[in-house]
Structure 1
Amino acid sequence: MISIKGLSKVFQTKDQEVTAVDNLDLTIEKGEIFGVIGYSGAGKSTFIRLLNRLEDPSAGSVVIDDRDVASLKKKELRLARQDIGMIFQHFNLLWSRTVHDNIAFPLEVAGVAKKERDQRVEELIELVGLAGRGQSYPSQLSGGQKQRVGIARALANKPKVLLCDEATSALDPETTDSILDLLVDINQKLNLTIVLITHEMHVIRKICHQVAVMEGGKIVEQGDVLDVFLHPQKKVTKRFVDQVMGDPEKENSLNLIHDTYKSDSILKLHFVGENTNQALISDISRRFNIDVNILHGKITQTQKGAYGTLFVQFSGEQSEIENVVGYIQSTTVEVEVNPSA
């Protein structure tokens, strides 16, 4: 669906050249919700603006449905953008227009007849959960409602791709979840490919199928969301995973655990999918002559299933603890002994 090769963007400032996006290669499948995550300055906002040529690339190609957006002339680009919807962090609504007229605007630009335009707008108002608010103005709406208008407007021309530029970062957590649920619903109903950039791992965890981690203009890690949660390779990725797993000061926490229980074995268990319901600890307590103390744990949900971590302290004979580790390794639960940050 989307094939990106050698994509780069270099900005020329007064004093130097700044490489915002550095030679990216990426493939995004049709119907996928693909997340791009990074901290401020990672290059993710520039990246998403390159996908619809709001920024011209310095090098590389962006092929969407067999059409290289990066090489299109102005007239071709205007037509191509009808297949690429975009929603923004700060909504970008027309404040003098009603909800109905905001959603209708791209249809007017595309030359759609009024009767067809009005019918399409009503369908979209219903789809995004704003029935009865068509004649309201943006100033009369909550933040979440404004973003729903932005989503409806982005869908007006029946795009094949929806780009989301920090679409929930201006919203409170409850409203964020409702907007994310709406995006999942749209993805499933319309088989719409969604590319979403964010600095919040909660957003990636909740709705994305695949994720790419950006740092310094490069993609430093990518893969299935659940795999990235299970096996983060880079330090920046581990920091993002810790956002969701509730341990932002993981290194200090682990040092405290090791200092407090230095004479015992600390195990970190990884549970995936149906294994999160497994009664492993009680099973170990019955089978082996050791004492078990649960130190810390959390379960979270991704699009591909549940993922959980559990820190436990084992006290007893070293040989018996080794037997426990061997037993856990014989199951589908992953185990780290005396884990480090």
Structure 2
Amino acid sequence: MISIKGLSKVFTFNNKKLTAVDNLTLDIKEGEIFGVIGYSGAGKSTFIRLLNRLEEPTQGDILIDKQEITTLSANQLRLARQDIGMIFQHFNLLWSRTVKDNIAFPLEIAGIPKAKREERVQELIDLVGLTGRENAYPSQLSGGQKQRVGIARALANNPKVLLCDEATSALDPETTNAILDLLVDINKKLGLTIILITHEMHVIRKICHQVAVMEQGKMVEQGNVLEVFSNPIAQVTKKFVAQVMGTADEGEDIKSLQEMYTDGKLIHLHFVGESTNQTLISQIAKKFPIDINILQGKITQTQAGGYGTLFVQMIGEEEEINKAVVFIRDETSAEVEVIENVN
């Protein structure tokens, strides 16, 4: 669906050059939700604006549905943008227009007859959950409702791609989750390809299939969300994963557990994908004559499955504890690490 090769954007300020996007190459499949995450200044907003040429690339190629975006004339680009919807952090609504008139605006520009406009607008109002608010003005709407208008407007011309520029960062957590659920619903119902940029790993975890991590204009890591969560490589990725998993102070946690629980062995378990659904603790307790004390842990879900970590204390004969550890390693898909034998 989308193929990007050697994409760069260089800004010049006071005769000094700043590379905001640095030689990016990636492919995005049709119908997937692709997340781009990075801290402020990473270049992610510039990247997404390059895709519909709200920013002109310095170099590189952007192929969307077999059409080379970077070579289009102004008139050709205007038509191509009808296939590329976009929603923004601060909604960008027309404050003098009602909900239905905001949604109808791109249809008016496209020259769609009034009867068809009204039919399409009502479809979109129902789709995004704004039935009954058709005649309200933006000043009368909550933040979540405003973003629903923005989403409906972006979908007006039946685009093939939806670009989301920090679409939830101005919303509270509950509203954010509602908007993310709406995007997932739209993705499934319409088969829409969604590219979403954010600085929040929670957003990536909740709805994305693939993720690319940006730092200083470069893509430093990319892959399936579950794989990136379970095995982050770049330091910046590890920081983002720690935000969601609460593993930033894991070293301190281990030290505290070692001091508090001095019997038996301290075991660190990692669960990925289907292994999160295994009744592992129950199996071990039934199979081996040892006591198991669950100390702390967390499981989080992604679109591709779960990922989690768990600390347990195993108390009993050392031989039986060792057998249990071998069983986990050889007979289950969970990963196991013996932190310390304190006996």
* Counterpart Cα distance in 1 of 2:329 and 2:73: 58
Counterpart position of 2:191 = 191
Q: Which runs of 5+ in 1 are unaligned?
A: none
1:162-195 deviations in Å (ceiling 9; x for gaps): 0001101111111111111111111111110000
Q: How does 1:103-122 map to 2 (within 5 A)?
A: 103-122=103-122
CA apart distance, 1:39: 1.1
* Counterpart Cα distance in 1 of 2:4 and 2:101: 35
Asked whether the equivalents of residues 226 and 273 of structure 2 are also in contact (C-alpha less than 8 Å), the reply is no
TM-score by length of structure 1 reads 0.93
CA apart distance, 1:298: 1.3
Most deviating of 317-326 and 178-187: 317-326
Q: SS state of the match for residue 189, structure 2? A: helix
Counterpart position of 1:173 = 173
Asked whether the equivalents of residues 242 and 250 of structure 1 are also in contact (C-alpha less than 8 Å), the reply is no
Counterpart position of 1:336 = 337
Counterpart position of 2:60 = 60
Most deviating of 10-19 and 120-129: 10-19
Q: Aligned partner of 2:154: which letter?
A: A
* Counterpart Cα distance in 2 of 1:247 and 1:278: 22
Asked whether the equivalents of residues 99 and 138 of structure 1 are also in contact (C-alpha less than 8 Å), the reply is yes
Structure 1's 215 and 318: CA in aligned 2 closer, same or farther, altered over 3 A? farther
Structure 1's 262 and 36: CA in aligned 2 closer, same or farther, altered over 3 A? farther
CA apart distance, 1:314: 3.2
Q: Aligned partner of 2:322: which letter?
A: E
1:200-255 deviations in Å (ceiling 9; x for gaps): 11111111111111111111111111111111122221221222223443343234
Counterpart position of 1:9 = 9
Q: How does 1:20-169 map to 2 (within 5 A)?
A: 20-169=20-169
Q: SS state of the match for residue 27, structure 1? A: strand
Most deviating of 232-241 and 120-129: 232-241
Counterpart position of 1:287 = 287
Structure 1's 263 and 4: CA in aligned 2 closer, same or farther, altered over 3 A? farther
Most deviating of 273-282 and 99-108: 273-282
Asked whether the equivalents of residues 301 and 307 of structure 1 are also in contact (C-alpha less than 8 Å), the reply is yes
CA apart distance, 1:320: 4.2
CA apart distance, 1:334: 1.7
1:55-108 deviations in Å (ceiling 9; x for gaps): 111111110011111221111111111100000011000001111111111111
Q: Aligned partner of 2:13: which letter?
A: T
Asked whether the equivalents of residues 205 and 302 of structure 1 are also in contact (C-alpha less than 8 Å), the reply is yes
1:98-126 deviations in Å (ceiling 9; x for gaps): 11111111111111111111111111111
Q: Which runs of 5+ in 2 are unaligned?
A: none
RMSD: 1.9
* Counterpart Cα distance in 2 of 1:83 and 1:118: 20
1:241 aligns with 2:244: no
Counterpart position of 1:222 = 222
Q: Aligned partner of 1:325: which letter?
A: V
Structure 1's 8 and 276: CA in aligned 2 closer, same or farther, altered over 3 A? same
* Counterpart Cα distance in 2 of 1:44 and 1:295: 39
